[in-house]
Amino acid sequence: MQTRFTPEQLKDPDTASSEAVIRKCVHCGFCTATCPTYVLFGDELDGPRGRIYLMKEMLEREAQPTAEVVLHIDRCLSCLSCVTTCPSGVNYAHLVDHARAYIEDRYRRPWREGLLRGLLAWVLPHPGRFRLALALARAARPVRRLFGSGPLGAMLSLAPGRAPPRPAVERQGPAAPKGRVALLQGCAEPVLRPEIREATVRLLHRAGYEVVFAAGEACCGSLEHHMGRKAAGLAAARRNVDAWTAEIEGRGLDAIVITASGCGVTIKDYGFMLRDDPAYARKADRVSALAKDVCELLAGVALPPMAAPTPVVVAYHPACSLQHGQKLGDVPARLLRDAGFEVRTPVDAHLCCGSAGTYNILQPGIARQLGERKVQALEELAPDVIATGNIGCAVQIGLGAAAPVAHVAELLDWASGGPEPAAMRRQAAGSTGRGGRRSTM
């Protein structure tokens, strides 16, 4: 795409980066057919090519964002399916992140929307606040129908029907470890599904790794980053870079292991996000280079003996952040097959389930449609369990699925001697927690 940015505009590093992205786009439109929102709406402006055009016009003219532009950018899931499809190597992620920050700085949202976004950014990255919010949501569940199908109703539906247990992580590692890894603690996952971290630690111990939690590390910043809150996203990135750098320069790290693939995409991008900060650029690059999804790490090491305890059919849902963001789509499925599970994948595996960070709260109607399509496709595979590698997908799919939803690490832990995944145990015990639907949380 031709651009007309002035030399003065291109002195801004974000504008220079976006110009380079836009110029790579050759208008071919291959990306539109694989874009979930284009599939739903059939509108060019709800596909990647149309959005690139809108962003180019807005950034080039330094225009005040219009409600129409904001609508189409807000509807983008940042699923990055378009990046996988694009033959020209267009880095849509960096462009849309820049556009979101531009909109956040210049666009005045209706007060309710602004309040909701502010509330999400204040609550979700902080486990203590998030735990309290979930307790309030549970108390409000009996009257949740009064909140309708908008963002508040969506928030109440997404909250688990039971109080999640507190994490109980085994600290005793192997006597003679072959390596030392830091496991991301993050924010939402340990509150919603602490059993994922417990299973991952057991699995890594069995694979011969000492597992540490870096002091001072917390939310990776992606929730705020993808809402256009650039300063908050960068502050989270710097805090985590400091925490992991202390470990790297102390006793050393072989990897930074991540179990939530959405966080993995952002941490692998810290080097880019902090490229213009002389105090952090080099350290952030080093952290990004060490970041690995748990399945990515396990695929490259000698694993403990694995054997699925019973014949189990697994419907594998590759999270967008894993398949499009990290290009690791088939790695977890391969690990599960090697462990003895029968793995099936849906025909529309490339399409987003509608979770996408805070998307299922901010765009509940679209998220619901995508979630229902995804659940139907997964359940057609007649699974005993649905597996995924991202907490957001697990919650979104768990809303409608009859089968339990487990993290890939929980299944691998089970196959190598750990307990059956908690969601499967709960279902076997016949627990219910979602007003008639079976609880997967």
Which residues between 87 and 116 bind ligand SF4 (CB under 6 A)?
Answer: 88, 90, 92
- Among 35, 54, 70, 223, the residue binding ligand SF4 under the rule CB under 6 A is 35
Question: Cα–Cα distance between 315 and 388 in angstroms, integer?
Answer: 9
Residue with tokens 């595979």: 381
- Among 45, 58, 59, 82, the residue binding ligand SF4 under the rule CB under 6 A is 82
Question: Cα–Cα distance between 39 and 36 in angstroms, integer?
Answer: 5
Q: Which is nearer to ligand SF4, 35 or 339 (CB)?
A: 35
Write the single-letter amino acid at 275: R
Q: Which is nearer to ligand SF4, 32 or 200 (CB)?
A: 32
Q: Is 33 in the site for ligand SF4 (CB under 6 A)?
A: no
Q: Is 231 in the site for ligand SF4 (CB under 6 A)?
A: no
Q: Which is nearer to ligand SF4, 245 or 360 (CB)?
A: 360
Structure tokens belonging to residue 357: 């960070």
- Among 22, 58, 76, 403, the residue binding ligand SF4 under the rule CB under 6 A is 76
- Among 16, 26, 163, 428, the residue binding ligand SF4 under the rule CB under 6 A is 26
- Among 22, 45, 59, 79, the residue binding ligand SF4 under the rule CB under 6 A is 79
Q: Is 351 in the site for ligand SF4 (CB under 6 A)?
A: no
Q: Is 64 in the site for ligand SF4 (CB under 6 A)?
A: no
Q: Measuring CA to CA, which residue among 122, 199, 195, 128 is closest to residue 164?
A: 195
User: Applying CB under 6 A, which part among 24-32, 63-71, 146-154, 426-434 lies near ligand SF4?
Assistant: 24-32
Which residues sit opposite 364 in a β-bridge? none
User: Applying CB under 6 A, which part among 78-86, 115-123, 357-365, 428-436 lies near ligand SF4?
Assistant: 78-86
Q: Is 49 in the site for ligand SF4 (CB under 6 A)?
A: yes
Q: Is 28 in the site for ligand SF4 (CB under 6 A)?
A: yes
Q: Which is nearer to ligand SF4, 73 or 255 (CB)?
A: 73
Q: Is the backbone of residue 37 left (phi > 0), alpha (psi -120 to 50) or beta?
A: alpha
- Among 31, 59, 181, 386, the residue binding ligand SF4 under the rule CB under 6 A is 31
Q: Is 265 in the site for ligand SF4 (CB under 6 A)?
A: no
- Among 4, 11, 27, 108, the residue binding ligand SF4 under the rule CB under 6 A is 27
Q: Which is nearer to ligand SF4, 75 or 286 (CB)?
A: 75
- Answer whether 339's CB lies under 8 Å from 278's CB: no
- Among 17, 18, 37, 390, the residue binding ligand SF4 under the rule CB under 6 A is 37
Contact residues for ligand SF4, defined by CB under 6 A = 25-31, 35-37, 48-49, 51, 76-82, 85-86, 88, 90, 92
